[in-house]
């Protein structure tokens, strides 16, 4: 991808992809406070693309802006404008992704796929930022995107819930309080279970041994067990839908578990190795509305959000940030997401 062309001779084409309220939102978000060299939303966005998408340094952005006739800017002036654009870019990203939409076969439910990915600062060995994304499969559109620091982890409590919505999530969201947050507001969940972090019980409140339950599954059998989730004294009726993996898929998962344990210098959990042999999904949607096979098929729709993150990190090189400043990091990440392709 020739990113320099996108910010130069193909810029008018790039602008045609942007939300119609670009100028209005730029003013309302105070992204431009003094109209000097950068006097329009289009120019400011172009400056952000040069830094975030084209990976120019601040000094290179200043020189480039001068050569294309945008204005005479110092690297300090470029820095101030990029930092001031971070909140506005977040709005533009949300609007652009919502208008752009997705293409997929949508099941007969209002389904939202929720997920998050991590981004690190230069030289960092840990997590510095999290990008939280929501896809609305019913409307075939992305419904939200939010960037937070490392202290705000994956949680369903972060998202608003409309009655009847189905939240499709991975096991990173398998926490009792988050599930309870969705169910209390009339929403539903279809999520990958976790044998250790998500306690399930019988109707009488007795803890269920998930690993023992999974152990009775045959190689070609699909199980659909009634279970309960307890949150703040309330018991929610749920279903645990499970199927045994092939030997090849099981060994692949176990190899990944061993590598991660070695990398983090943790002891390999025997429970995790046992659970690796199964796919098990937790949902509160009644069997009369969705069969066990449909539950498993619905969960597979998560591939769309995984491909979105893969694109950001590989094609757009979002694996590591160039900026250490918080506002500048936001501008950099949001510029990457906005690339039309």
Lowest mean pLDDT among 40-44, 147-151, 177-181, 242-246: 147-151
Q: Above 60 in pLDDT, residue 137?
A: yes
Q: Above 60 in pLDDT, residue 102?
A: no
Name the pLDDT band for 99 (thresholds 50, 70, 90).
low
Name the pLDDT band for 304 (thresholds 50, 70, 90).
low
Mean pLDDT of the residues in the chain: 83
Name the pLDDT band for 115 (thresholds 50, 70, 90).
confident
- CA–centroid distance for 65 within its chain: 33
pLDDT > 70 in the chain, percent: 84
Task: Find, among 127, 101, 125, 102, the residue nearest to 116 by Cα.
Answer: 127
Give the angle subtended at the CA of 247 by the CAs of 244 and 253, to the nearest 5°.
Answer: 85
Look at residue 108 in the predicted model and tell me its pLDDT: 59
- Strands (DSSP E) contained in the chain are 111-119, 129-136, 141-149, 166-169, 188-192, 222-231, 234-244, 278-283
Lowest mean pLDDT among 174-178, 182-186, 302-306: 302-306
Name the pLDDT band for 321 (thresholds 50, 70, 90).
low
147 versus 295: the higher-pLDDT residue is 295
For every residue of 177-222, DSSP letters joined together read HHHHHHHHTT-EEEEE--TTTS--B-TT-PBP-HHHHHTT--TT-E
Each domain of the chain, given as residue ranges in start order, spans: 3-95, 101-309
Tell me the average pLDDT across 242-268: 89
With the C-alpha atoms ordered 139, 182, 284, 253, is the resulting torsion angle positive or negative? positive
For 256, other C-beta atoms within 10 Å of its C-beta total 11
Lowest mean pLDDT among 15-19, 67-71, 189-193, 312-316: 312-316
Look at residue 318 in the predicted model and tell me its pLDDT: 63
Q: Above 80 in pLDDT, residue 65?
A: yes
Q: Which residue has the tokens 């399930």?
A: 200
Look at residue 129 in the predicted model and tell me its pLDDT: 81
Q: Above 80 in pLDDT, residue 216?
A: yes
Look at residue 128 in the predicted model and tell me its pLDDT: 77
Look up residue 13 and give its DSSP letter: H
Q: Tell me the sheet residues that pair with 131.
A: 117, 147
Look at residue 100 in the predicted model and tell me its pLDDT: 56
Q: Which residue has the tokens 């998962």?
A: 253
């Amino acid at each position: 991808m020739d990113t320099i062309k996108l910010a130069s001779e193909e810029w008018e084409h790039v602008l045609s992809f942007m939300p119609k309220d670009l100028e209005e939102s730029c003013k309302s978000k105070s992204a431009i406070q003094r109209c000097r060299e950068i006097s329009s939303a289009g120019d400011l966005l172009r400056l952000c693309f040069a830094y975030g998408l084209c990976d120019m340094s601040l000094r290179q952005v200043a020189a480039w802006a001068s050569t294309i006739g945008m204005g005479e800017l110092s690297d300090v002036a470029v820095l101030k404008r990029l930092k001031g654009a971070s909140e506005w870019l977040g709005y533009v990203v949300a609007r652009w992704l919502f208008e752009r939409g997705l293409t997929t076969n949508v099941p007969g439910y209002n389904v939202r796929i929720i997920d998050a990915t991590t981004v690190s600062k230069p030289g960092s060995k840990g997590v510095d930022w999290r990008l939280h994304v929501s896809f609305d499969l019913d409307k075939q559109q992305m419904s939200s995107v939010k960037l937070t620091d490392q202290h705000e982890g994956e949680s369903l409590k972060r998202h608003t819930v409309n009655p009847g919505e189905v939240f499709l999530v991975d096991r990173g969201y398998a926490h009792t309080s988050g599930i309870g947050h969705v169910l209390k507001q009339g929403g539903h969940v279809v999520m990958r279970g976790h044998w250790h972090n998500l306690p399930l019980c019988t109707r009488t409140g007795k803890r269920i041994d998930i690993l023992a339950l999974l152990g009775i599954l045959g190689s070609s059998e699909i199980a659909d067990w009634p279970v309960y989730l307890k949150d703040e004294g309330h018991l929610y009726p749920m279903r645990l839908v499970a199927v045994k993996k092939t030997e090849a898929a099981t060994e692949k998962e176990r190899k990944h578990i061993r590598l991660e344990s070695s990398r983090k210098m943790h002891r390999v959990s025997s429970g995790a190795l046992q659970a690796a042999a199964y796919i098990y999904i937790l949902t509160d949607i009644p069997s009369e509305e969705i069969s066990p096979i449909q539950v498993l098929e619905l969960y597979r729709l998560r591939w769309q959000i995984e491909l979105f993150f893969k694109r950001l990190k590989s094609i757009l090189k979002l694996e590591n940030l160039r900026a250490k400043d918080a506002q500048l990091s936001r501008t950099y990440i949001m510029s990457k997401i906005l690339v039309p392709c």
